[in-house]
Amino acid sequence: MPTLTLYGAPGSGAVAVEAALTLIGQPYSLIDAVTWDEDDRTSGDRVLAANPLRQVPALVLPTGEALTESAAILIWLAEQYPDARLAPAPGDPRRGQFLRWMSFVSAAIYSLYWVKDDPTRLAPDPAAGPVLVARTDDRIAECWRMMGEQITPGAWLMGEALSVLDLYVAVVSRFRPRRQRFYAAAPNMADIIRRVDVHPQLQTLWAERYPFEPGWDAV
């Protein structure tokens, strides 16, 4: 099958897409576009070929069609490669909750980083930045708390099989305010997500694309 091309960056949400592709066993070409590097705008500009919003991840299909939005890409991959069993299939009783939490991580949590990473985008006075960041961190922790209270996990977040939701939460919960806050907010998800960290098939990927450096889990 012709190659998929992923625009990504180390330590970004695109690493969840790389994790899904790794578990699927689907080779892909990777183009790094570090969209938040103000010292190297040319790096981030690479993704403009696939996403006018200048955000990663973006996945370009063999047809040339571009998919953006991490949740959509992850759900699409699970559908395209059903043998990998990375999502409850349409018709499965867990499908509704799966779609709910995939959308929730994207809409309620991940989208906040557009402001949090550069508060001057909405509050031009630099003095407003620290308060905005602190309150956004509180909101993110509150969202994890609500998700933890509402979800009923099994061995994995969606029951007895690992899904792209586990991969998605494992990556997004590593963004600031990082894992210690996540563990405290959603203790019933903590051990599950730690098991994603130690998944044998993902060790090389984590080491290369999102290493567990000292202090990686604290703010």
Place of tokens 């709910």: 100
Among 79, 80, 114, 203, binds ligand GSH (CB under 6 A): 114
**How many residues bind ligand GSH, per CB under 6 A?**
16
Q: Considering beta carbons, is residue 53 or 89 the nearer one to ligand GSH? A: 53
Pattern 34-63, ligand GSH, x by CB under 6 A = -xx-----------------xxxx------
Q: Considering beta carbons, is residue 57 or 177 the nearer one to ligand GSH? A: 57
Quick one: tokens of 49?
């070929």
- The whole-angstrom separation of Cα 106 and Cα 72 is 9
In the three-class reduction of DSSP (H, G, I as helix; E, B as strand; rest coil), residue 58 is classed as strand
Binding segment for ligand GSH (CB under 6 A), chosen from 66-74, 83-91, 134-142, 162-170, is 66-74
Task: Assign 3-class secondary structure to 121-185.
Answer: HCCCCHHHHHHHHHHHHHHHHHHHHHHHHHCCCCCECCECCCCHHHHHHHHHCCCCCHHHHHHHH
Q: Which residues pair with 30 in a beta bridge?
A: 6
- At closest approach, how far in Å is the CB of 101 from ligand GSH? 14
Centre a 10 Å sphere on the Cβ of residue 109 and count the other Cβ atoms it contains: 22
Is 199 a binding residue for ligand GSH by CB under 6 A? The answer is: no
Q: Considering beta carbons, is residue 109 or 158 the nearer one to ligand GSH? A: 109
- At closest approach, how far in Å is the CB of 45 from ligand GSH? 11
Is 12 a binding residue for ligand GSH by CB under 6 A? The answer is: yes
Closest of 3, 9, 14 to residue 46, by C-alpha: 9
Among 113, 182, 183, 210, binds ligand GSH (CB under 6 A): 113
Is 94 a binding residue for ligand GSH by CB under 6 A? The answer is: no
Place of tokens 């930045």: 129
**Interface positions with ligand GSH (CB under 6 A):** 12-13, 35-36, 54-57, 69-71, 106, 110-111, 113-114
